[in-house]
Amino acid sequence: MQFKDDQSKIRWETVVKDNNSRPYGAGILSFANNFAELIEEEKFKNPSYNLADKLPKHIAQANESTGNITRCMKSAALQILIDVWLYGDELAECSEKQYLCSGLRF
């Protein structure tokens, strides 16, 4: 996963360390990692790739590879990606327009 900066990488590592041992947290982190890998692969193939065009498709793909987590778990995963991931700002723009889960950005 590519991070916004060194602080973002440290934050991700801390979140993983603090949450990966519990099934709920592990599901969130697995989804986040799977989603990031899918998008990074698309961006590598096509640098002008627009995430907003296929956001629902990639959410479904990451969900399938993770094992069908809940919508609010996806919300938590996307929120950490918005905060630390290189493409987090782009994700925030398109996810705010398309998804909402109990007042949380998704």
- Indicate if the pLDDT at residue 96 is higher than 80: no
Contact 36, 28 (CB under 8 A): no
Give the per-residue pLDDT at 101.
44
Neighbours of 46 (CB within 10 A): 9
Q: Determine which of 4-13, 44-53, 96-105 has the lowest per-residue pLDDT on average.
A: 96-105
Domain boundaries, the chain: 6-105
Give the per-residue pLDDT at 103.
40
Over residues 18-73, the pLDDT tens digits come to: 999 999 999 999 999 999 999 999 999 998 998 888 888 888 888 888 887 888 89
- Angle (CA) 64-98-25 rounded to 5° is 45
